[in-house]
Chain A
Amino acid sequence: MTRNDPTGRPVTAAPDTSGPAHAGAGGGVGHDSVPAIELRGISKAFGPVQANRDISLKVMPGTIHGIIGENGAGKSTLMSILYGFYKADAGEILIRGKRVEIPDSQAAIAAGIGMVFQHFKLVQNFTVLENVILGVESGRLLKPSKAKARGLLKQLAEEYELHVDPDTLIEELNVGHQQRVEILKALYREADILILDEPTGVLTPPEADHLFRILEGLRREGKTIILITHKLREIMEITDTVSVMRRGEMTATLPTADTSPEELAELMVGRKVLLRVDKHPARPGPVVLSVEGLRVTDDKGVERLRGIDLDIRAGEILGIAGVAGNGQSELLRVLGGIAKGRGRVTMNGTPLPLEGAGADGRSRRAAGIAHVPEDRQHEGLIMDFSAWENAAFGYHDDPRFGSGTLMDNRAIQDDTRAKIERFDIRPADPMLSARNFSGGNQQKIVLAREIERNPDLLLIGQPTRGVDIGAIEFIHQQIVRLRDAGKAILLVSVELDEIMGLSDRIAVMFDGRIMGFRDPRITDEKELGLLMAGIADPAPATGGEG
């Protein structure tokens, strides 16, 4: 099957086993010509939505195969079929050349397939060990299984850098370690095919690097890995072959060595994508938000913000760089009225209460602050509400949506239809519940809601987490457009590229404090990296506060 990609270059749908790209692929064992996974003509529809259409794919053993594609292209659906969560409407699956039926996840595990979901499926108050053996305990007594597992875990840890203390409770582990437990679970079940769906979305950069070392180790041992990601950098870095999905179809499969991020982006979106943010220099106006000595203590009594001072002016984007967990989330939350704090914050000259009455999201919105929260699934959206109900979330008091106690559902629905249109949210169905939109489209629902309010200050956390590059370009444009309209923007992101590309000024946070302000045109990743690690630089490149 050969197709022409938009650049006019013929692209083979399946990698040639004898091709150079594969021969160089990590020197894995099991070099036979039988693909570890072969999909033939897989189709799957959800009602009117054709999530997968006639998809064929071969993945050779001992390779890492990347799958990219826009939000809603059908990547997760395809993997869910492979893992037995959905049944394909048509098509067949071959594992190591043998046709298999995968009616449920047990069958997938039996076929040697393991899956690491973005939302881990671990029992929070069980230990690592208990989670690993859950469901595959041998015999009636737990003890022998545990002993066996303990030995195996130790061995796996050495082999693949998968170190986790088997006796810690899951709830005490950070996300990176929880993910390792998921991988251990799969390996314990003797998976030799591992599927990872957007594994780096929640990881800090060092954690992501570690994950990739683990994956490389697995490839060396001859395991086959499918990696879904939106980050082209990761595709280029670690995969041997890569497939592109578009609107339910697999439009191209090619050796990674023969392609470039630009080409992949174009294949994904069907047009040239700007991988850099296009913006004019900022023209900052008067100070909109002024923060002095802001402190936040969490419910465990730990001080998360230890005296933050910053100003944001109209018409500028202040980016907060930092390794996740250094207080950025708390900063957004206290300014958004979710968390309580102490200190002095003024908005357009009026003091904002930081605790007690008037320190809630409702009052913040009334003061002209909009907030795109970092955690869209738990805060930004009610997953069981329909798109239109979510499109009014937080603004459900707006007189435009009905006077008095009654809500004008029709008005909200019409408003949502307009937002769907302007933000190209797919599928364009305001009645669909938020849960049924893909990640990027969920994010667009939140963004449309907050940006279209035309706030004086936009707080925005991880705006492009889990979002495809086409949508990233769009979201970045929207943020810049809001800035150019003279609004102040506080951007928090763990993606350094995003901070560098979007911000007019960068504040680096470490351990609840601001280490310094930098000008993105002058600074570089190295300098920011040092600041992010808490190493203060005596000579700042620019005086941050104006």
Chain B
Amino acid sequence: MDRMPKWADVLLIPLISLTLAALLSALVILAIGEDPLAAVTMMVKGSLGSTYGWGYTLYYATNFMFTGLAVAVAFHARLFNIGGEGQAVLGGLGVAIVALSVPWPHWSLALAAALVAAALFGAGWALIPAYLQARRGSHVVITTIMFNFIAASLLNYILVNIMRPTGQMEPATAKFPKATHLPTLHDLLAPLGIPFSKAAPVNITLLIAVAACILVWVLLWRTRAGYEIRAYGHSEPGALYAGISPFRITMLAMLLSGGLAGMMAVNNVMGEAERLVLNAVEGAGFIGIAVALMGRSHPFGVFLAAILFGFLYQGGAELALWTNIPRELIVVIQALVILFTGALDNMVRMPLERLFRRRAGGGARGGAGGAGSSGSGGAESTAPKPHTRTTPIPGAPADEPAAGPTAADSPAASDPATPDGRRHPPV
């Protein structure tokens, strides 16, 4: 049996985690003498109460969709790409070069070229960590983190010394020409007679992000490459047996991941800032990890989680603007959400699993009916959690060398006494 019904896995756990994070945040707000209820109202109003608020929420969500998908794709191959930040930085560089070096006749051509450039630059930045992982087993977690720092320094150098227009103080490129400015949601909805805030940065890239979610879903569950990525992610010996090359899959998954992260730059660099500045990514690469974890590495989950995080971002900004709640506290709240949905996932999951195991199989009757049907949910199983390939997981029965007949023979896979290492989040 899968450990619990699918609906519990994809809905109940995130919901409980979020509630816990919200409660803890409320306590913190109370502790500094503010009214949590008022704060929530303000957050909701500020992010969802107007098209302006929505415009920002969706703008952030667009960023997070790209970085969340990036992390999710790599997760499926059991690779932990935390280099989304650096890959998005490089993507921005690609976008800036494309926007500034060609006199584009129309934004649509510029957009197409920028997407390609962003993806290529992002993927290029993932290339070396991917190669080092695939050939030498250097862990991508380490190498991609290092590449984040290199990316930041590189951009700094390029902006200060190469791309900064002469006479400008700020380390940033020149403004992109008008022909490369992307239509905002306002522009897109106006012909349909739907009013939308003119000031909000959300733009056509949102639609591309949604399309990316769908395409990634197609890739993972409808293509041979996706099948191989998932197979490799679940079992490396299995992949070898089937003739799936670990080298190829590692490269493929990492390049796809880097490309997706890079594409984020089209939204923030081309769609919003309309020039390349330092620190344009603003941590979206890291938020992507939380988004992927919360979205269970499923593209549609990523879509929803990205919107949630967009809401938190925008709501948080509003709070900081209008209340005495300091900006740092917003970061605390966001961190709590990340903590509960990501790192502390097991805290909610384990008791819940136990609960479901107790109840599982009570016939087709009652609540356990869901448990029974869960076994059939295998069509789109969630990605395996990444782990260090070289270290054996203590006590993980799945990694036993002993060949054995029945999986059904080890219902103890989540025996609390010998926690199943596979379930531990990677952080």
Contact = CB atoms under 8 A, between A and B. Distances in A.
A76 B358 contact: no
Contacts of B142: none
A443 interface: yes
B408 A89 contact: no
Nearest to B393: A124
A396 B224 contact: yes
A411 interface: no
A108 B304 CA distance: 43
B412 A378 contact: no
Given A118-B404, A202-B403, A436-B375, A396 B241 contact: no
A393 B231 contact: yes
Interface in A406-446: 406-407, 409, 429, 431-440, 442-443
Contacts of B399: 124
A175 interface: yes
B219 to A, nearest CB: 9
Contacts of B412: 85, 105, 117, 121
Contact of B358 (A51, A103, A123): A103
Given A384-B381, A385-B231, A409-B222, A379 B405 contact: no
A387 B399 CA distance: 21
A87 B360 CA distance: 8
A436 B379 contact: no
A384 to B, nearest CB: 5
A382 B223 contact: no
Nearest to A461: B403
Contacts of B402: 118-120, 175, 178, 202
B243 A378 contact: no
A122 B364 CA distance: 35
A188 interface: no
Interface in A62-93: 71, 76-77, 80, 85-87, 89
Nearest to B361: A46
Interface stretch (B7-15, B158-166, B365-373): B365-373
Contact of B223 (A76, A201, A406, A438): A406
A46 B375 contact: yes
B282 interface: no
A360 B245 contact: yes
Given A202-B404, A384-B234, A360 B243 contact: yes
Judged by DSSP, the binding face of A is loop
A379 B241 contact: yes
A85 B409 CA distance: 11
B390 to A, nearest CB: 12
B406 interface: yes
B227 interface: yes
Interface in A340-368: 360-365
Contact of A198 (B244, B372, B409): B409
A270 to B, nearest CB: 21
Nearest to B373: A47
Interface in B342-358: 357-358
A465 B403 contact: yes
B330 to A, nearest CB: 38
A105 B392 CA distance: 25
A125 B412 CA distance: 20
A405 B369 CA distance: 37
Contacts of B405: 71, 118, 198, 201, 376, 438-440, 442-443, 465-467
Q: Which of B241, B384, B395, B399 has the most CB of A within 10 A?
A: B241
A85 to B, nearest CB: 4
A378 B238 contact: yes
A176 B243 CA distance: 31
A375 B409 contact: no
Contacts of B326: none
A47 B369 contact: yes
A371 interface: yes
Contacts of B384: 384
B362 interface: yes
Interface size on A, as a range, is 35 or more
Contacts of A384: 234, 378, 381, 384
Contacts of B381: 384-386, 433
B372 A45 contact: yes
B223 A86 contact: no
Contacts of A85: 357, 411-412, 415
B353 to A, nearest CB: 12
A374 interface: yes
Contacts of B359: 87
Given A46-B361, A46-B372, A338-B240, A433 B378 contact: yes
A498 interface: no
A135 interface: yes
Contacts of B361: 44-47, 51, 86, 89
B85 interface: no
B408 A439 contact: yes
Contact of A429 (B376, B403, B416, B418): B376
Interface of B: 1-2, 221-225, 227-228, 230-231, 234-235, 237-238, 240-245, 357-364, 369, 371-379, 381, 384, 392, 394-395, 397-412, 415-418
15 contacts: A76-B409, A89-B361, A118-B409, A202-B404, A337-B243, A376-B405, A380-B241, A382-B230, A382-B231, A387-B378, A393-B238, A396-B242, A405-B223, A438-B405, A438-B406
Interface of A: 44-49, 51, 71, 76-77, 80, 85-87, 89, 103-105, 117-126, 134-135, 171, 175, 178, 197-198, 201-202, 336-338, 360-365, 371, 373-387, 389, 393-394, 396-397, 402, 405-407, 409, 429, 431-440, 442-443, 462, 465-467
